[in-house]
Structure 1
Amino acid sequence: MSHAPLIIELFTEELPPKALKKFDQSFSENIQQSLNTQGLLDSSSVTTSYATPRRLAVHLSDVLTKAPNRQVKEKLLPVAIALDADGKATAPLLKKLAALGHPDISLDQLEKQGSDKAETFYLNVEVTGQTLAAGLQVALEQAIAKLPIPKLMRYQIAPGTAQVKDVEFVRPAHGLVAMHGTEIINIEALGLKAHNTTLGHRFLSKGTLTIKHADDYAKTLETSGKVIASYNNRLEKIRESLLKASNGHSVLMPESLLEEVCSLVEWPVIYTCEFEKEFLEVPQECLILTMQTNQKYFAMTDKNGKLVNQFLIVSNIETSTPEAIISGNERVVRPRLADAKFFYEQDRKKTLFERTALLSKVVYHNKLGTQLERTERVAKIAEVIGNELKKHQSSIDVSLAVRAAQLAKADLLTDMVGEFPELQGIMGRYYALNDKEHPDVAAACMEHYAPRFAGDALPVTDTGTILALADKLETLVGIWGIGLAPTGEKDPFALRRHALGICRILLEKKLPLNIRDVLQATIKQFSQEEVHQNSSVDVIHGFILDRLRAYLKDQQWDGKNYSTNEVESVVSQLPVVFGDVLERLKAVRLFSALDESTALAAANKRIGNILKKVDFPIPASVDNNLLTLDAEKSLAKALDQILPQVNQSFKNGQFTEALQAFATLRVEVDNFFNDVMVMDPDTKLRDNRLALLAKMHGLMNQVADIGKLAS
């Protein structure tokens, strides 16, 4: 079969910028998959996608003019169902054949397989390969139907003619290119017939562009049409051009903004603009956000991270006299910055503390009261956490955490946060500093939201750490308590993120905080009976442990991931203090490296299984007078010898030493299971041996359940 490159382009009016990247991927993938399924792609075929604000296109190399014939074997129906009493085809068989595209095939052309009672008809035919024109028509229709279009637009094509009809697509389509090598493929889509002409840049290119060969598509658009057709190439061009135009400054280039701008231009050109220095008196986060969100501009900072009064724009127009473009953008941004300056000045006329009373008018949740009530709960939880941590770190000032809790949500009532909700917490810090609050209180107003997302930094100050925990615990317990626990993929209140934040703070800051005690204290702060009924410590502790389990497995620690068994050995112990979990895991990994670990892990698992089956009380201690066999005497003696060392190591947090001490018991453990029958008919001997095993099991599992390491 002959083959050549293929290009397909849909030329449209401006596509939604936030959806263009998804359109690009979907359009190319679906056409490629459909053509490949139909056997129209050579094994060496390569797919290249293109997407600009006014077009979706895909180039495929090595596309066949006609797919090769192929043998198709399909199971039909049992003969007993396929034939009637007269031996003629039944309606179900005829329907099945029609569905497979072979309604006229005769019975003698069908194969029979199987025994007499289970004999089945099979269709075994050679299917003629699909032509490219027919296959591409199917592929294009499927690709259009599968585009993740947020909202369809209905429009008419060929207005003023007899061919007027309604079409639905994301935006009106005005052209279709379909070329196989130098040949135009005769297909249609959205009321358009395929041609070999398209349009270039709306302003920088004049007239139509003729695509002479499928391989010329991208080059023709770039050289003659002033269009960089590749989405990814255009994105990198923007990134590189911004850096070149930075004049030594750092350019703030969030990926989402780069992608949105890339979806707005076909020929990106960078220009430098300025704004008045007086606006730099406003917190730079406000200025940056208004430039990025409202204007799609790229702010710049100096080497110290301080905003400068210059910004970069990505224009769709290339000109040697850009003064009008620059002045126009400077004129547009000025009122935005002036608004931010006005909000900032107005907000500072009232302190955060003066605003707190107004939180009583802001509903947090109809079942959980107002933001003021929530603030009061968080303050009490922060006090509990602060007092507990102060036992281990005397420098902690609990009063600062309580004060921060009282002020942390007050910035929700400011004009600036009303305009830019993303600034909540950030503005709280600025306003608290303006009010001459303690620096740690101001920092906590911002830090208590941390971590906001996966990989985000944790709170830095003790006050911020305490408040972050209190705020997340209050949300988790309260929302869970009113019956809004996460289900499946639904988690509208981000309780999984809050739980993960709690895990990370406790784990990475190595806080000696008992999570169950704090959960119990949190539940007590709610007056709602529903919360007390639903938010049991056991349930929420289990939910938090699930997040801890996943986090420990997903992250790399010292350059390596912990295995499921290693993580489970620690988390299955239901830890209540997360501060030493990483040390326990490290000890488990080092223990696993010992030659004796495999046998000891298997023995520990065996002991656990034995003890689980016991449904009667086991003595609390071992009676040495009832040890009759040498193997059990040796194990008891060896246990007593390492007991002080293990307990002291565990007490000192030396988990590696505690676990590795058991390596000396390998021989005694093996001999015990080889020579001793635990479930002896003599109940006294049996119970004493169970007590010995329970003693060993408890001692071994102080750090982790090493039985989980056994495969």
Structure 2
Amino acid sequence: MPDLLIELFSEEIPARMQKRAGEDLQKLVTNGLVDAGLTYASAAAFTTPRRLTLTVEGLLDQSPTTREERKGPKADAPEKAIEGFLRGAGLTRDQVETRETPKGNILFAVIEKPGRPAAEIIAEVLTHIIRTFPWPKSMRWGAGSLKWVRPLHSILCILTDEAGAQVVPGEVDGITFGDTTEGHRFMAPGRFSVTSFEDYGTKLKRAHVVLDASERAEAIWHDATNAAFASGLEVVEDKGLLSEVAGLVEWPVVLMGKIGDDFLDLPPEVLQTSMKEHQKFFSVKNPKTGRIERFITVANRETADNGATILAGNEKVLSARLADAKFFWENDLRTVRDVGLEGMAKPLADVTFHNKLGSQAERVARIEALARELAPVVGAKPDLAAEAARIVKADLASEMVYEFPELQGNMGKYYAQAAGHDDGLPEACEEHYSPLGPSDDVPTSPMSVAVALADKLDTLTGFWVIDEKPTGSKDPFALRRAALGTIRLVLENDLTLKISDTVFEHGKKFGASEAKDRIKAEASRLRREHADARDRDSEEMDEAVRAAGAAMFNVDEASLDLLAFFHDRLKVYLRDQGIRHDIIDACIAMEGNDDLTLLVKRAKALSGTLKTDDGENLIQGFKRANNILTQAEEADGVEYSYGADVKFAEEPQETALFEALDAAEAKIAPAMEAQDFASAMHAMATLRTPIDAFFEAVQINADNQTVRRNRLNLLSRIRTLCLSVADLTKLEG
């Protein structure tokens, strides 16, 4: 079985496109080969800045011969029907068979397709893929019609078996398939031929090209950390930057440079962000002080002076970049010292947050009011929480954040410290955006938690009020992330917070202005549509406008819908912790489901109970009792919900169940009152044995109607008691 090697050699491919391009090449080629009948043993794709490479091992040398039988119309069918059948099969009338069947004489076509050589199929598949490759952006060059991410120079395509290597015959836009490639642009220019993937990799390494992106990344990190360690420093880890830099070089050469003394006092986040965004440099910090003191750059070549010239140029360019950052920093500090953070935040009145939700300043005012309300819930001082809310967005008006938006929050902390704020306010500025993702740390300081919750709940409430919710995969305002962040803040800080009440009360702050704006818009529309609006009765017009505004806005409906959204996000969060969605549904159905902490405690207790034999079997007993009771109530037209009396018990197992229910009720009621769900679930699970014994020994539908009613009322006690803990009807299985 031959092996296939493909290389598409071009000008430099943007680093951000390389990984996806390699995956696309592998998927498209292998799918195309399999669709044509060529199976294979394994495949792997590799990328460098100048090449996409694919190796496919264990390929069939030709596609198998196929035989297809098609049933056609009757032999005496109209001529046009027969002609259509023959045309579709690609046969003539004398090439089809007539067979007797229970439905008469039927035409059958047997279509046999002979196998094709692998080289022929590969050329066909590869040519089509190159012409239709799904680059995010592509270009044309010269006089040709081919589009590629950058000008494509050569196509290597060979099949290798025991007899040797052969070039797959093919051509795309004047580029003929061959068996040659090039090494490093500067260190090993010139073409050379290869005979297999192993030969290809060996000769590329000799020509100063590391084919595997992961190998390049490992080499960069190894050399960078060693260089830093030799100077008593540490490289700041950045996996995204490492992956990007590995896509910029074919032969990585790590160099460590110095940062000018004038810039060492800049906040480390400023240095790190500026070097990363503008120069693709890694930051090197002093572990004793936390200061960024050096940088790591990765060159694409070795030089006679060991990179001295490259470093000198990089240091010069970096100084110019950092001079800009220092200018922004000093200007912002001057503003903070002159007018304070609240003064810095004044321009936010002219910055639109959303055209339906007002300016950033209006948003800050809402966050301030909500943070003051939430402060007692999280253990913060209301006045301090309100003060923190007024300044946490101030850095959005700074020159530094305008240049580097990703530094919002970080810069707020430094500006708050410069303004003399303490009592947790600088930390609140930095942490109020957290958590941003599932692995991000959750703030624990009461001040930070109050403002972070207020920020996220204001965002969610506002977009629900204006009915701009996530749809499908679209979530332009990151509302799912805000909801998950809220959930983590509440749960990981063990807060008791009524989500729906909070959202409803906060939503009314949007309601007044939102309804007013919509009423004004509706009035304008009505006047445009009715030229005689001035002659119409003004009261009728006003009523029509008010009705339109009322129909468009409903805070109560928005708060309920947002609570359902929180529940959906909670299911995702708890699923990762091993709690089934039906268990969460069983707890959501209970009263108090807007208290997320309470809801999760109930769900975890129920999940733990169901993992025991008693708990699992109890659910079956409950469902049996509920089914019998429901059917009896439907048949009799009455509700069996009270009146079970032990004096009508005829069997010892029946009496034992009464006693067990009395004992369980005595434990479950106070446990539920104390929100001790684990104890309540444990008490409920103890009913498993007496319920099982009851169903084995007792016939519910007794001939004596008094006994029958008593037993049905006893089942009702089981149902009521179990449902007081969770809605077990929601459980699957």
Common fold: TM-score over 0.5:
yes
1:237 alignment partner in structure 2: 219
Is contact 1:566–1:589 with CA below 8 Å preserved after alignment?
Answer: yes
Is contact 2:155–2:177 with CA below 8 Å preserved after alignment?
Answer: yes
SS in 1 for 2:435: coil
d(CA) in 1 for partners of 2:505, 2:674: 28
Amino acid paired to 1:12: S
Pairing 1:374–2:396 present: no
2:590 alignment partner in structure 1: 573
d(CA) in 2 for partners of 1:314, 1:431: 34
Could you tell me how far 1:115 is from its partner in structure 2?
4.3
Is contact 1:40–1:130 with CA below 8 Å preserved after alignment?
Answer: no
1:92 pairs with one of 71, 84, 94? 84
Amino acid paired to 1:70: T
Could you tell me how far 1:531 is from its partner in structure 2?
5.2
Pairing 1:226–2:218 present: no
d(CA) in 1 for partners of 2:704, 2:140: 85
Amino acid paired to 1:242: A
2:145 alignment partner in structure 1: 166
Could you tell me how far 1:146 is from its partner in structure 2?
5.3
1:660-704 Cα deviation digits (max 9, x unpaired): 112332344345556364899979985x76665555434324443
Is contact 1:89–1:107 with CA below 8 Å preserved after alignment?
Answer: no
1:655 alignment partner in structure 2: 677
Pick closer, same or farther for the CA change 1:605–1:108 going to 2, 3 Å.
same
Pairing 1:149–2:135 present: yes
1:593-626 Cα deviation digits (max 9, x unpaired): 4333233202333455577786889588646499
Amino acid paired to 1:442: P
Overall identity of the aligned pairs, in %: 32
Pick closer, same or farther for the CA change 1:356–1:121 going to 2, 3 Å.
farther
2:67 pairs with one of 61, 64, 72? 72
Pairing 1:335–2:327 present: no
SS in 1 for 2:613: coil
How many residue pairs match? The answer is 678
d(CA) in 1 for partners of 2:271, 2:101: 77
2:351 alignment partner in structure 1: 362
Pick closer, same or farther for the CA change 1:64–1:624 going to 2, 3 Å.
closer
Could you tell me how far 1:291 is from its partner in structure 2?
0.6
Q: Which stretch shows the higher mean deviation, 671-680 or 578-587?
A: 671-680
Could you tell me how far 1:347 is from its partner in structure 2?
0.8
Matches within 5 A, 1:23-422: 23-42=21-40, 45-67=41-63, 69-73=64-68, 76=70, 78-80=72-74, 84-86=77-79, 90-97=82-89, 103-104=90-91, 106=93, 108-109=95-96, 115-116=102-103, 123-145=109-131, 147-156=133-142, 164-181=143-160, 182-223=165-206, 225-247=207-229, 248-304=232-288, 306-321=290-305, 322-350=307-335, 351-390=340-379, 396-422=380-406
Pick closer, same or farther for the CA change 1:344–1:38 going to 2, 3 Å.
same
Pick closer, same or farther for the CA change 1:666–1:7 going to 2, 3 Å.
closer
d(CA) in 2 for partners of 1:611, 1:539: 34
d(CA) in 2 for partners of 1:681, 1:478: 62
d(CA) in 2 for partners of 1:311, 1:231: 22
Pairing 1:447–2:431 present: yes
Gap regions ≥5 residues in structure 2: 516-551
Pick closer, same or farther for the CA change 1:539–1:679 going to 2, 3 Å.
farther
Pick closer, same or farther for the CA change 1:563–1:679 going to 2, 3 Å.
farther
d(CA) in 2 for partners of 1:508, 1:543: 19
1:571-597 Cα deviation digits (max 9, x unpaired): 443722222444434422432243332
d(CA) in 2 for partners of 1:533, 1:110: 73
Could you tell me how far 1:448 is from its partner in structure 2?
1.4
Q: Per residue, is there more helix in 1 or in 2?
A: 2
d(CA) in 1 for partners of 2:66, 2:55: 29
SS in 2 for 1:209: strand
Gap regions ≥5 residues in structure 1: 98-102, 157-163, 391-395, 556-560
1:460 pairs with one of 428, 435, 444? 444
d(CA) in 2 for partners of 1:578, 1:216: 61
1:4-30 Cα deviation digits (max 9, x unpaired): 332211111111221011111211232
1:404-446 Cα deviation digits (max 9, x unpaired): 1111111111101100111111111111111112241221112
d(CA) in 2 for partners of 1:501, 1:508: 10
Amino acid paired to 1:200: G
2:9 alignment partner in structure 1: 11
1:159 alignment partner in structure 2: none
d(CA) in 1 for partners of 2:410, 2:286: 20
2:531 alignment partner in structure 1: none
Is contact 1:646–1:661 with CA below 8 Å preserved after alignment?
Answer: yes
SS in 1 for 2:185: coil
1:596 alignment partner in structure 2: 614
Could you tell me how far 1:123 is from its partner in structure 2?
4.5
Amino acid paired to 1:79: P
Pairing 1:562–2:579 present: yes
d(CA) in 2 for partners of 1:111, 1:174: 56
TM-score in terms of structure 2 length: 0.85
SS in 2 for 1:153: coil
d(CA) in 1 for partners of 2:100, 2:459: 64
d(CA) in 2 for partners of 1:257, 1:298: 8
